Structure 1
Amino acid sequence: MATVRRPEPRKTRKCPLCGHAAEEDYRPFCSKRCKQLDLGRWLDESYRVPVVETDDLDIDGEDEPYDS
C-alpha cells in the first residue's frame, strides 16, 4: 500500500512593516494600512536603491587608446 503524503503546513509570513501575520488579500502585508504606508514611502522616496558610481571604472574601454 502506498504511503499518502500530507501537505506541509504553510509557514506564516510576517508583514515587512509591522511584523504581524500577512493576509492573503494584502500580501505581503497584513493590512491595507501597511500596504499604503509602504507605497507612500516609495512615493516619498524614503526607500532608495543603492547605486555604485562608475566614474572611475572603465566599463566600455573609452579611456584606452585605440590601436588600428
Structure 2
Amino acid sequence: MTVSCPNCGAEVPWTDASEYRPFCSKRCRLIDLGQWFEESHRIPGEPVDLESPDETERDQD
C-alpha cells in the first residue's frame, strides 16, 4: 500500500522501511511541524481565553 505525502504529494510506501511515513522525508515532516508551530494548521474548535482563570482555579481561592 502507498500513501501520498501530506506535504509534497510524493507516493510513500506504507512499510516499516518508510521511516518518516506518512511523509516522504524528514524535510517534509519538519515543514509540517513548522506549520503547526506557526498555527497555519489548526484543529477546529471553540476559542479558548488563556487570560481568564480556569474554573478549578476559581474554586481554590
TM category (shorter chain) comes to 0.5 to 0.7
Amino acid at match of 2:31: L
Map residues 26-41 of structure 1 onto 2, 5 A cutoff. Answer: 26-41=20-35
Amino acid at match of 2:37: L
Partner of 1:19, secondary structure, is coil
State the 1:20 CA deviation. 0.4
Q: TM-score, normalised by structure 1?
A: 0.55
Amino acid at match of 1:17: N
> What are the ranges of 5 or more consecutive residues in structure 2 without an aligned counterpart?
48-61
Match in the other structure for 1:21: 11
State the 1:22 CA deviation. 2.0
- Equivalenced residue count is 43
Which portions of structure 1, spanning 4 or more consecutive aligned residues, are displaced by more than 2 angstroms? none
Please identify which structure carries the higher helix content.
2
Structure number with greater CO (CA < 8 Å, separation at least 6) is 2
Larger Rg: 1
Please identify which structure carries the higher strand content.
2
State the 1:52 CA deviation. 4.5
Q: Distance in 2 between matches of 1:22 and 1:46?
A: 24
Map residues 1-68 of structure 1 onto 2, 5 A cutoff. Answer: 11-22=1-12, 24-52=18-46
